[in-house]
Amino acid sequence: MTLPEIAAHFTLPGSVESHSEIPTGLINSTHLVGCAGGQRFILQALNSAVFKKPAEVMENIRTVTAHIAAKDSDARGLELIPTTSGEPWLTLEDGTLWRCYPFIEGTESFTKITSPDLAYKAAAAFGDFQAKLADLAPSLLHETLPDFHNTPSHFSKLLSAAEKDPRARLSGAHEEFDYILSQKALTTLLTDADLPVRITHNDTKISNILFHTDGSAPPVVIDLDTVMPGSALYDFGDLVRSAAASADESEADPEKVFLDPALTKALTEGYLSTAADFLTPAETALLQDSVKVITLELACRFLADHLLGDIYFKTNTEGHNLIRARNQLALLKSM
Residues 204-263 interacting with Mg ion (rule: CB under 5 A): 208, 223
309: left (phi over 0), alpha (psi -120 to 50) or beta: left
Please select the residue that binds ligand GN1; options are 8, 27, 80, 81, rule is CB under 6 A: 27
- Minimum CB distance to Mg ion smaller for 210 or for 286: 210
Q: What angle do CA 271, 139, 231 make, to 5 degrees?
A: 30
- Is residue 18 a contact residue for ligand ADP (CB under 6 A)? no
- Is residue 112 a contact residue for ligand GN1 (CB under 6 A)? no
- Is residue 31 a contact residue for ligand GN1 (CB under 6 A)? no
Using an 8 Å Cβ cutoff, are 203 and 236 in contact? Answer: no
Residues 9-38 interacting with Mg ion (rule: CB under 5 A): 25
- Minimum CB distance to ligand GN1 smaller for 238 or for 260: 238
Please select the residue that binds ligand GN1; options are 187, 226, 264, 321, rule is CB under 6 A: 226
- Minimum CB distance to ligand ADP smaller for 187 or for 226: 226
Size of the site for ligand GN1 (CB under 6 A): 11
DSSP state of 327: H
How far, in Å, are 141, 199, 204, 210 from residue 225 at the CA level? Answer: 12, 13, 11, 16
How far, in Å, are 127, 152, 206, 209 from residue 274 at the CA level? Answer: 5, 29, 17, 16
- Is residue 103 a contact residue for ligand ADP (CB under 6 A)? yes
How far, in Å, are 83, 131, 133, 278 from residue 128 at the CA level? Answer: 31, 5, 9, 11
Please select the residue that binds ligand GN1; options are 44, 183, 200, 208, rule is CB under 6 A: 208
How far, in Å, are 116, 130, 255, 320 from residue 265 at the CA level? Answer: 8, 20, 22, 30
Give 287's contacts (C-beta < 8 A, 6+ positions apart). 233, 236, 237, 268, 271
Q: Residue 226 binds which one of Mg ion, ligand ADP, ligand GN1, none, with CB within 5 to 8 A depending on kind? A: ligand GN1
Residues that bind ligand GN1 (CB under 6 A): 25-27, 50, 203, 205, 208, 223, 226, 249, 298
Residues that bind ligand ADP (CB under 6 A): 22, 24-25, 27-28, 30, 42, 78, 101, 103-104, 107, 109, 207-208, 210, 222-223, 225
